[in-house]
Structure 1
Amino acid sequence: MGVLLCEPALAQAQRETTDENVRRRQAERQQQHSPYWDGFILKHQGNCTEAIEKLKPLANRGFGFEDAQTALGECYLQLAGLDVTGGSAPDRQETFEKQKFKTALEWIGKAARAGHFGAQAIMVSLYAAGLGPDDDIIEGAKWAHLYLTNPSRLNLGAPIAAVVSIDQIRESMDKTSWLIGKERARDWVPLYDKKTPPAPTQ
């Protein structure tokens, strides 16, 4: 009797074409959509205003949610009118007067201090543009060394994203200052956000 029950399913599978199979599986996957990714998808689509609403609850969870913190910071940078991938350096004083920029620095800083290599690359870019949290370019060198030697980036084989910014920082200082930055990176210890609030209710 077990064979008889399997026969209709086998016959249906044989009748189903490859295209139908792909469409059916895609429909099943869409029904299993995880809301975790909504903010990242919106950010990737360039809709940072809506992405912030989805990313903020995740970023607030703290340790383990550094991807969300970085994405949230990138959205705030975009809304502040900055391009983290390069371009002309905006006026420091004018930029620091923008609340969205201050919020971006806060979130990117949290993720970078926890060891997130994407956030560390953004810190390097900000220092290279003269927009680091402070005027200490040696801190920019520290972030460059941390990014270049980041174990997660190296294990993943991720390419170096901040090459131009690293070169700008290196060229803006003498060799001794660059090595002081390297020494600061050696003494660096990750700082994790200790609070982990409960998951948001839906």
Structure 2
Amino acid sequence: MTSKAGAVIAISALGLILAACSGGGAARKRDADGRVIPTLAEQDPASTLYAKSVGKAARGDCDEETFDVLTCFAYRGHGYEGAQMALGQCLIASGKQAEGAEWVRRAADSGWPDAQKLMAGLYFKGEGVGTDMVEAAKWAKLYSRNPSLLSLGVQPDLSFVQDFRGVMTSEQLSVADQRAESWVPSYWTPSSGIDRGIRRACSVEGRRPAPSASDIQTIPNPY
């Protein structure tokens, strides 16, 4: 295959991805630059469309519309970690475990409680990631001490902690503690050409900018 032919195929593939993220189905209104103009529901993260899609993902009900909606919200970056985790759940349910685990990790890295709990389970079972009991315990500890839950008086669901009993050595638990204590949040934003293209196709802007490295360093580690 010539380089020119390969480029044509790559561009065509990108076009299909962008079309899917743009909503598909009926024709959508576009601005002067050709970008899809989002509906009011798409602009409002608390809208019925957003909540419905996240709820469907939690139930494993991931149809094409749910994938499209979650993809566009997930690519908004920081502030939409719920959509990132939900997209990961849908991908895992559809058999794309590695890709799904990566989206769940992005949400977990930011401190999203449910994503941290799910990452613990993925590492424990080796789904989408290699089985790693230390990493599983690290994420379980981060979830159990998550300040977002504790500050609201919400008690973490620790029913899964019993899975770790008797299967880890004291040394492994110590390493997991060290990793949890040294953990700092990080926030994913689209960086590759394809990622930025999908975000532009969805015609969305981030809910709020991700904190800078210097900002993160000034925040005490609550773990």
1:76 to 91, 96, 99: 91
| Cα distance between partner residues in 1 of 2:88 and 2:71 | 10
Q: How far apart are 1:76 and its partner, in Å?
A: 1.6
Per the TM alignment, residue 37 of structure 1 is displaced from its structure 2 partner at its CA by: 3.0
Given the alignment, which residue of 158, 171, 175 partners 1:176?
Answer: 171
Q: Which runs of 5+ in 1 are unaligned?
A: 1-32, 81-99
The aligned counterpart of 1:11 is none
Candidates 128, 131, 154, aligned match of 2:150: 154
Distance 1:45 1:115, change over 3 A: closer
Pairing of 1:1-202 with structure 2 (within 5 A) = 34-43=48-57, 46-49=60-63, 50-80=65-95, 100-131=96-127, 133-164=129-160, 166-195=161-190, 197=199, 200-201=202-203
DSSP 3-state at the match of 2:138: helix
Q: Does the 8 A contact of 1:123 with 1:132 survive in 2?
A: no
TM-score, with length taken from structure 2: 0.59
- For normalisation by structure 1, the TM-score amounts to 0.65
Larger radius of gyration: 1
Residue 96 of structure 1 is matched in structure 2 by none
Alpha-carbon distance between aligned partners in 2 of 1:122 and 1:41, rounded to the nearest angstrom: 16
Task: Please list the CA deviations of residues 164-192 of structure 1 after superposition, one character each: whole Å capped at 9, or x if unmatched.
Answer: 2x222243111221121011100011111
Q: Which moved more, 1:154-163 or 1:62-71?
A: 154-163
| Inter-partner Cα distance in structure 1 for 2:134 and 2:179 | 9
Q: For 1:139 and 1:185, locate their aligned partners in 2 and report how far apart those are by CA, in whole Å.
A: 9
Gapped regions of structure 2 (runs ≥ 5): 1-46, 191-195, 205-223
Task: Tell me the percent identity.
Answer: 35
Amino acid in structure 2 at the alignment position of 1:200: C
Q: Tell me the CA shift for residue 201 of structure 1.
A: 3.9
Distance 1:45-1:181 versus aligned 2 partners, 3 A rule: closer
Cα shift at 1:148: 0.8
1:14-44 C-alpha deviation (Å, 9 max, x unpaired): xxxxxxxxxxxxxxxxxxx554334224435
Q: Deviations over 1:47-95 (max 9, x none)?
A: 3123111100000111111000011111122222xxxxxxxxxxxxxxx
